[in-house]
Amino acid sequence: MKNFMDRDFMLNSPTAQKLYHEYAEKTPILDYHCHINPQEIAQDRQFENITQVWLGGDHYKWRLMRSCGVDEHYITGDAPDKEKFLKWAEVLGKAIGNPLFHWSHLELQRYFGYNGVLNKNTAEEVWELCNKKLADPSMSVRSLIKKSGVTLICTTDDPVDSLEWHKQIAEDASFDVQVLPAWRPDKAMNLEKPEYPDYLSKLSETSGITVNSFQTLKEALEKRMDFFAAMGCCVSEHALEYVIYAPASDEEIEAIFTKRFRAASGDAITKEEELKFKTAFMLFVGSEYHKRNWVMQLHYGAKRDNNKNMYAKLGPDTGYDCINNYAPSSQTADFLNAMEENKALPKTIIYSLNPNDNAAIGTILGCFQDSTVAAKIQQGSAWWFNDHKQGMTDQLTSLANLGNLSGFVGMLTDSRSFLSYTRHEYFRRILCNFIGGLVENGEFPCDMDILSEIVPDISYRNAVRYFGFRL
Domain match, 126 and 175 both: no
Final residue in a domain of this structure, among 115, 139, 163 = 139
pLDDT tens digit sequence for 360-379: 999 999 999 999 999 999 99
261 pLDDT tier (thresholds 50, 70, 90): confident
Residues 329 and 332: their CA atoms lie apart, in Å, by 5
In a domain, 416, yes or no: yes
Mean local confidence (pLDDT), 302-331: 95
Residues 437 and 419: their CA atoms lie apart, in Å, by 29
> What angle in degrees, to the nearest 10, is found between the helix axes of 123-134 and 99-112?
50
Residues 67 and 97: their CA atoms lie apart, in Å, by 14
Final residue in a domain of this structure, among 104, 139, 174 = 139
- In this structure, what DSSP letter does residue 351 have? E
Residues 120 and 88: their CA atoms lie apart, in Å, by 9
In a domain, 91, yes or no: yes
The mean pLDDT of the chain is 96
In a domain, 32, yes or no: no
Final residue in a domain of this structure, among 114, 139, 164 = 139
Q: What is the end-to-end Cα distance of the chain in Å, rounded?
A: 43
In a domain, 438, yes or no: yes
Domain match, 196 and 323 both: yes
Domain match, 109 and 160 both: no
For residue 256, pLDDT beyond 90: yes
For residue 325, pLDDT beyond 70: yes
Domain match, 73 and 180 both: no
Residue 265 pLDDT = 62
Domain match, 134 and 158 both: no
The type of residue at 425 is E
Number of domains, the chain: 2
For residue 267, pLDDT beyond 80: no
262 pLDDT tier (thresholds 50, 70, 90): confident
For 272, other C-beta atoms within 10 Å of its C-beta total 11
Domain match, 439 and 402 both: yes
How distant, in Å, are the alpha carbons of 54, 240, 367, 470 from that of 3? 26, 42, 45, 41
Instruction: Give the whole-number percent of the chain exceeding pLDDT 70.
Output: 99
Residue 57 pLDDT = 87
Q: Among 294, 291, 297, 260, which residue's Cα sits nearest to residue 277?
A: 260
Residues 288 and 296: their CA atoms lie apart, in Å, by 10
Mean local confidence (pLDDT), 419-444: 98
268 pLDDT tier (thresholds 50, 70, 90): confident
| Radius of gyration of the chain measured on its C-alpha atoms | 23
Domain match, 182 and 251 both: yes
Domain match, 91 and 192 both: no
What DSSP string describes 126-184?
HHHHHHHHHTSGGGSHHHHHHHTTEEEEE--B-TT---HHHHHHHT-TT--SEEE--B-
Residues 365 and 351: their CA atoms lie apart, in Å, by 12
pLDDT tens digit sequence for 95-132: 999 999 999 999 999 999 999 999 999 999 999 999 99
In a domain, 79, yes or no: yes
pLDDT tens digit sequence for 244-253: 999 999 999 9
Dmax (CA) of the chain: 69
Q: Among 289, 294, 35, 26, which residue's Cα sits nearest to residue 153?
A: 35
Residue 82 structural domain: 46-139
401 CA to centre of own chain: 24
Compute the residue count for the chain.
471
In a domain, 446, yes or no: yes
Domain match, 340 and 367 both: yes
How distant, in Å, are the alpha carbons of 124, 153, 193 from that of 224? 49, 20, 22
Domain match, 459 and 378 both: yes
Domain match, 201 and 78 both: no
pLDDT tens digit sequence for 394-427: 999 999 999 999 999 999 999 989 999 999 999 9
Give me the CATH number covering residue 59: 1.10.2020.10
For the four alpha carbons of 289, 292, 293 and 297, in that order, the dihedral sign comes to negative
Give me the CATH number covering residue 269: 3.20.20.140
Instruction: Give the whole-number percent of the chain exceeding pLDDT 90.
Output: 97
Half-sphere exposure of 201 (CA within 13 A, CB side): 5
Domain match, 167 and 115 both: no
Q: Among 428, 463, 346, 390, which residue's Cα sits nearest to residue 19?
A: 428
In a domain, 404, yes or no: yes
In a domain, 25, yes or no: no
For residue 228, pLDDT beyond 70: yes
Residue 226 pLDDT = 98
